[in-house]
Amino acid sequence: MNFFLKSCFGTLILGSFLSANWDSNVVKPQLPADDWPTYGGNNAGNRYSTLTQINTQNVKNLTLAWTYETGDNTTPGQRGMDIQCQPIVIKGVLYGTSPRMKLFAVDAATGKQLWQFDPFANPEKRPRFHPVRGVVYWEDDEDKRILYSVGSFLYAINASTGKLIESFGKNGEVDLHEGLGDKETIGHDLTNFSIRVTTPGVIYKDLLITGSAVNEGGDAPPGYIRAFNVRTGKLAWVFHTIPLPGEYGYETWAKDSYKKLGGANCWAGMVIDEKRGMVYAGTGSPSVDFYGGARPGQNLFANCVIALNAETGKRVWHFQTIHHDLWDRDLPCPPNLITVKHNGPDGRPRMVDAVAQATKDGYVFVFDRDTGKPLFPVNEVRVPTSPALPGEKPWPTQPVPTKPAPFVRQELTENEITTRTPEAHKYVLERFQDSRKGSKYMPPSEEGTLYYGFGGGAEWGGNAADPEGILYQNANTMLWWLKMRDSRMQEKNVAMTRGSSLFNTNCSVCHGMSGKGSADAKASASTAQAYPDLTDVGKRLDREQINTLLATGRGRMPSFGHLSKEDRDAIINFLLKTEAKPAAPDIHSSVVTSPVAEGADFPYMPPYLNNGNTQFRDQDNYPAIKPPWGTLNAINLNTGEYLWQVPLGEYPELIKQGLPPTGTENHGGPIVTAGGLLFIAATYDEKIRAFDKKTGKIVWEYKLPAGGFATPITYMANGKQYVVIAAGGTRYGLKPGGSYVAFALP
Ligand code: HEC
């Protein structure tokens, strides 16, 4: 209320306006009182709690209440996995997932384990790890279920006992390939193609509506949005994000694309407006990332905010945030359902039910929830279309919202190059001068190009929003170096191992295909730099030395700390020639491992591939640009103006050197409470912090046992308010952890 009083409307007018409009057409967000019943806190995805026991006055006294050890990430030498899970709390029981994808239930007041479910207890299930960001609860009377996905299966688990519900799907599991197409409909069988659900779906009546995560290469199945019956596991409806002949949007692709191309998937989750019976989802780029020669056109419904009828899966409206994506600019987080004050068609202010979607490159699009009409005007802006790779037809315009201003930088200028040390500046400046840079819509090329916004920007942790229409958004400002290479140089008909495949994706752009020096690596003409031939690298370096080099990078060699330990090991085995012979295609890996037969049009083998996801860093592994590298933002979506922006996280060693907080890259989202607080971990410094949501000031912080790369929750149990975060660490070479940590007032 405070907020509205500060606006330019007289209180009298405002009063009558609210009473006239608030009750009639505004859906009150479904607020969790004591529980944290869903991923995202409520159906609107607002990561908002009405609890006030912990507030700005007493938060400084917050202390550790309990720790739950999942039992994973504790064995020395065992491969660590992070925990990206935001747990849920239903009637005093907390449900979450462990680093090795086990499902568990604990007493939310004590952290005492009630049960654990291990999807790999069945020895036939080979563990292939991927993030499980949350689970879904559904109940009908005594029938209480947890729905969660591991690999290509969806499970229903009895919430009271932790036992598989055998009547669901086939012996308790639903194959997520269901409804994607088969030999009859699309000409081939997709069962060996990787599909998983990393962010949980949403419940509407007896339906679980879900997106999926698929590969980003030519072996991606289509990312259809689907609904499954919660009781039976039966497929209820499918929305084709790559349209079939006769469906709306079919002409925005080349003919028959639905048979050959995949992606356009909602991997980051969705939200539901129960009263309207509508579900809102954001989708990712079509496959393959970075090259669109096989998919001329706008490519609906990739990179779209889509509103669907939750009952039928029929499209109500859509808005495409990137046409013909060439930059992997997936919509990286679920939308937020908010209610804001905007001028109506008559120029007079009114309350509007809206949906806000943040993007990897720093925009927030705000739409009318019923019509999809932008509340702040969006301009179609001309963008560069050349030079582009042969066969590529970049789309000539892209949508840019007039408000809010972007929450991350857009285009790299020399002025933004790091000045952390003179050496770092010099090192980065050289690469900067050797690379293409400019518009973030420059088409990718074989020359190296520097871009913002491949990674977020906004990220999978999503955003918090309070009932006043303020969006809280944590952001990364990272620079990426993209260099495309001609994939036809790939040795034909050689069955690739995981290691060689990873090498050719991540390393060959500099070291040549299979490591045979830069002669065949098409080094850009402007860079006469030599890259070492790695054919006999085993004679010079041992396993440990290569491992260290990959973790830290050196000179012009970037760090590959973001690759999993398993992937790095596979690459090292390939280099040291100690790898096993080609294994059966690994259906869960994110790289193309199956050899592509010449002339086959499926799986699609693009003529150009990218150089992996290479971040542009300095020789000491800090971001190559001036800080802030990570920020927290409060954006008023009534006005489109910022309330505040502050750095999020710090590097203790840089603080010691006298630098102000730089922010760090951050993964995991914020929550906000009626107690006036915003809680977030997500940073490299392994801390969880509370901010005053009005000012952005840090009012409490705690060093976690391991990095909290997840989104916290808050709830009441036995009369006490708790804040819980998963501390799984592991990312970015940080130490692993396997616990959930709870805080409360003493
Ligand atoms: C951006 C270009 C680039 C990429 C991409 C790259 N490297 Fe390098 N790499 C270099 C450069 C330059 C050096 C020499 C570093 C120095 O100055 O010491 C190097 C050195 C190495 C060395 C040490 C060679 C020796 O004889 O000392 C190894 C091993 C290596 N890279 C492996 C890899 C692997 C594995 C990958 C992929 C995961 C990779 N590199 C990706 C540029 C690159």
- Our answer on whether the CB atom of 540 is closer than 6 Å to any ligand 1 atom is yes
**Which is it for the CA torsion 625, 627, 629, 631, positive or negative?**
negative
For a mutational test of ligand 1's pocket, the pick from 510, 575, 578, 617, i.e. the residue with the most ligand atoms closer than 8 A to its C-beta, is 510
CA nearest to 325, candidates 506, 454, 147: 454
Task: Summarize pLDDT for 376-423 with one digit per residue, the tens.
Answer: 999 999 999 999 999 999 999 999 999 999 999 999 999 999 999 999
For a mutational test of ligand 1's pocket, the pick from 511, 527, 574, i.e. the residue with the most ligand atoms closer than 8 A to its C-beta, is 511
Amino acid 670 reads P
- Our answer on whether the CB atom of 31 is closer than 6 Å to any ligand 1 atom is no
Spatial separation of the C-alpha atoms in residues 550 and 736, rounded to whole Å? 18
- Closest residue to atom 34 of ligand 1, CA basis: 507
CA of 664 to the centre of ligand 1 (A): 25
**Residue 295 reports pLDDT greater than 70:** yes
CA of 698 to the centre of ligand 1 (A): 40
Spatial separation of the C-alpha atoms in residues 201 and 665, rounded to whole Å? 27
For a mutational test of ligand 1's pocket, the pick from 557, 564, 613, i.e. the residue with the most ligand atoms closer than 8 A to its C-beta, is 557
Most confident of 11-20, 365-374, 448-457: 365-374
- Closest residue to atom 33 of ligand 1, CA basis: 507
Q: Is the peptide bond before 387 cis (omega within 30 degrees of 0)?
A: yes
- Which whole-number Å values give the CA distances from 549 to 80, 98, 438, 530, 612, in the listed order? 20, 30, 31, 17, 17
Torsion of CA 275, 461, 592, 547, to 10 degrees: -170
Q: Give me the mean pLDDT over the 278-305 stretch.
A: 97
- Our answer on whether the CB atom of 130 is closer than 6 Å to any ligand 1 atom is no
Would you state the pLDDT for residue 119? 94
Please count the residues of the chain: 746
**Residue 646 reports pLDDT greater than 50:** yes
Atom of ligand 1 nearest to the CA of 572: 35
- Which whole-number Å values give the CA distances from 346 to 294, 349, 354, 401, in the listed order? 45, 9, 18, 22
- Our answer on whether the CB atom of 546 is closer than 6 Å to any ligand 1 atom is yes
Q: Cβ of 376: how many Cβ atoms within 10 Å? A: 16
Amino acid 146 reads I
**Residue 725 reports pLDDT greater than 50:** yes
Average pLDDT of every residue of the chain: 88
Would you state the pLDDT for residue 78? 61
CA of 641 to the centre of ligand 1 (A): 45
- Our answer on whether the CB atom of 570 is closer than 6 Å to any ligand 1 atom is no
Amino acid 654 reads L
Task: Summarize pLDDT for 8-64 with one digit per residue, the tens.
Answer: 333 333 333 333 333 333 344 444 579 999 999 999 999 999 999 999 999 999 999
Task: Summarize pLDDT for 213-233 with one digit per residue, the tens.
Answer: 998 888 899 999 999 999 999
